[in-house]
Chains A and B, each alone.
Chain A
Amino acid sequence: MASEAVAERRSAGHRLAGLFHGRERLQVGALLAGPVGWLVIGYLGSLALLLVAAFWSVDPLSGATIKEFTLENFEALVDEPVYRDIVWRTVRTALLVTLTDAVIAFPIAFYMAKLASRRGKALLVIGILLPLWSSYLVKVYAWRTLLSANGAINWALDPIGLHGPGYGTTAVWLVMSYLWLPYMILPIYAGLERIPNSLISASEDLGASPFTTFRRVILPLGFPAVVAGSIFTFSLTLGDYITPRLVSNDQFIGNVIFSNVANNQPFAAALAIVPIVVTIAYLLVARRLGAFEHV
């Protein structure tokens, strides 16, 4: 009896194995069905539904959606100059933060990849990852306290007769650059570490000065990694709305979406398309710059 059952079970397993044997497509299909299904239905599907709403309108009183095709949300978006200002402010800050982070991150990543001892490297990685363990809100509120009129920055600058930036656009730039720096350092570090040391030695042997080696060898090989990191810093800044809210009076795209989402979802959805379009454009540029090669 028992051995019969085992045999039967084995044969069921065998049959299943036989089904997959030699059928590459079926194997891959079975492996990926779950994750791809989730991606398409749960992720892209809900995104598509959100964006569909951008072409609907809303009953002003009840907030109920009127499901008829209209372009009025997009017209409002284009006609009202304040939205152009807000989009431009958001994109400008995202670019500025990205540039700042790239300039700060490159030397740190280079030191970690090529110069630091094993121990030093480990310490630096921990140091960079550590802030990611604490809550985003805690970090922003900490900056809010630092930048306050009676805060630590003004206290430190006061003896030399200077003033901190206070709350405002500069504060947003500072805080965002701080928040997203690890997302820039880590990809650059990974990219630079893959550059063989022999290439650097070869460049030196051929008589290049350290600066020329940096300019002609390290920078071109490391650049795709910088672009990869910039995708994080750029898109994270583009989507953030809590930092602007807490350290300035500036409105970002996310703030306007937030204030409309409760009573006018279609308009909020139309606004949400803006960062999606900007990000797609940015990704296309990034691809041109080689961010997705050798990944």
Chain B
Amino acid sequence: MRRRDGNPARAAWLVVAGLVVFMLALAGCGGGGSDTTGGGSSDEALQKLGKGEGEVSLISWAGYVEPGWSKPFEQKTGCKVNNKEAGTSDEMVELMKTGQYDGVSASGNATARLVAAGLVAPVNTDLVPNYKTVFSDLKDQPYNTFEGVNYGIPHGRGANLLMWNGDDVKPAPDSWDVMFDPKVAAKYKGKISVYDESSYIADAAMYLKFHQPDLGIENPYELNEEQFNAAIDLLKEQSANVGEYWSEAAKQISAFAGGDVNVGTTWQYQYFALKEEGVPVKASPASQGFLPKEGATGWSDTWMIAKDSKHPNCMYEWMNWIIEPKVNAEVAEWFGEAPAQELACKETENKNFCAEYHAEEPDFWKRVYYWETPLADCGNGEEDCKDYNDWVKAWTTIKG
């Protein structure tokens, strides 16, 4: 038959060529401009609370929405809770872009992006009665308030920990030197555990802020070219000593338990899990009660409401519920973080909880640098700071 005589290779090439042309055409005439919006005013916020819509869809960090306090919420308000857990801030931003969710428990390295992308709406705090008694040093912060407009309700906060194996690392370190100072870190060559995310660049910047004041670093998330390069150089130097970069909590737990690493940066979750397994880990501030002398990076999470929320009344009910003194105490103890609600400290099961987590000590939190989204504009009007994409790309070069 005639048809079979055609050269199949030629046909295949024609298909490929056709696809390429099609792609280029699409890329060329995709239409100009991006759909960025941003900047809002408090007028856009809900002005009056109405009746609940019967359900609410949330995006949250694991441990923030648990049956222990979401079931009573459903009974009280009639709003059924649909919860989607996200593993990273990037994932949260991606999920919010789908437009299917009413709210999100965003960390500071997601909030600015959510606002800039026009995905979240301002919050009218008058409609959230419990907001009045939120710790004042959590209100009107750069990661939850933009151009004077409030975009969320604080949930809780914590510091990233320095954790070490008490059998191998002596004396107990009081500084991030064990991970950054080449002389000290060399003792633990191949045994250092580092968080595998571009936001870890801020940990290096925080270290430099303390040890090299002439660089003039103010905020470890606002770095100009020179400061940024100094942080990257420090991290490249560190990478020779790194045993493992971790991104999943389970990976770090198995590395500490298996003796592959013995000092590193971590979250309370891994620390408590390892203690439970009987691994002799210690951590500051969790077990030692102090921060390393340079301070620490950390997080302060904010409940935000989606701009096109289909269930705004239920979302407002949720934002008020989660900082109800009793509920906020429950969440904080379950997760291992300091509550956002002042009155929660009276409701905790462990009466020392707020003291252990320094919840009521503003001076402690002044040395905690909450995650923020790095922006080109760091307030000096020059747009000369490194932005988030620069951070992500630099992180690739550090690991090589």
Chain B 349-400 interface residues, beta-carbon cutoff 8 Å to A: 373, 375-376, 387-390, 392-393, 395-397, 399-400
Report the contact-size class of chain A (Cβ under 8 Å from the partner). Answer: 35 or more
A150 and chain B: residue at smallest CB distance: B259
Q: Mark A267-285, 1 if CB is under 8 A from B, else 0.
A: 1000000000000000000
Chain B 2-54 interface residues, beta-carbon cutoff 8 Å to A: 19, 22-24, 26-28, 30-36, 38
Q: Is A259 an interface residue (CB 8 A)?
A: yes
Q: Is A80 an interface residue (CB 8 A)?
A: yes
Are A246 and B34 within 8 A (Cβ)?
no
User: Could you say which of B221-229, B243-251, B327-335 contacts chain A?
Assistant: B243-251
Contact partner of A85 (CB less than 8 A), chosen from B242, B255, B260, B400, is B400
Contact partner of A65 (CB less than 8 A), chosen from B34, B118, B198, B387, is B34
Q: Is B91 an interface residue (CB 8 A)?
A: yes
Contact partner of B24 (CB less than 8 A), chosen from A55, A58, A65, A76, is A55
Interface size on B, residues (CB 8 A): 52
**Known A52-B26, A58-B389, A145-B254: A263·B31 in contact at CB below 8 Å:** no
Q: How far is the CB of A242 from chain B (nearest CB, A)?
A: 10
Are A263 and B397 within 8 A (Cβ)?
no
Residues of B near A262 (CB, < 8 A) are 88, 90-91, 93-94
A256 and chain B: residue at smallest CB distance: B396
Q: Is B116 an interface residue (CB 8 A)?
A: yes
Are B113 and A62 within 8 A (Cβ)?
yes
Are A60 and B24 within 8 A (Cβ)?
no
Q: Is A167 an interface residue (CB 8 A)?
A: yes
Contact partner of A63 (CB less than 8 A), chosen from B113, B198, B254, is B113
Contact partner of A144 (CB less than 8 A), chosen from B88, B254, B399, B400, is B254
User: Could you say which of A66-74, A110-118, A177-185 contacts chain B?
Assistant: A66-74
B37 and chain A: residue at smallest CB distance: A62
The distance in angstroms between the C-alpha atoms of A259 and B26, with both chains bound, is 26
The distance in angstroms between the C-alpha atoms of A80 and B400, with both chains bound, is 11
Are A56 and B30 within 8 A (Cβ)?
yes
Residues of B near A85 (CB, < 8 A) are 400
Are A148 and B259 within 8 A (Cβ)?
yes
Highest count of chain B CB atoms <10 Å: which of A80, A86, A259: A259
The distance in angstroms between the C-alpha atoms of A54 and B90, with both chains bound, is 20
The distance in angstroms between the C-alpha atoms of A66 and B30, with both chains bound, is 9
Q: How far is the CB of B391 from chain A (nearest CB, A)?
A: 10
Name 9 A/B residue pairs within 8 A (Cβ), A-sorted: A48-B19, A54-B27, A61-B113, A63-B113, A63-B117, A83-B396, A85-B400, A145-B254, A262-B93
Given A55-B27, A64-B36, 10 other A-B residues pairs in contact with their CB atoms under 8 A: A59-B36, A61-B38, A61-B375, A64-B35, A82-B400, A145-B254, A148-B259, A149-B259, A262-B94, A263-B388
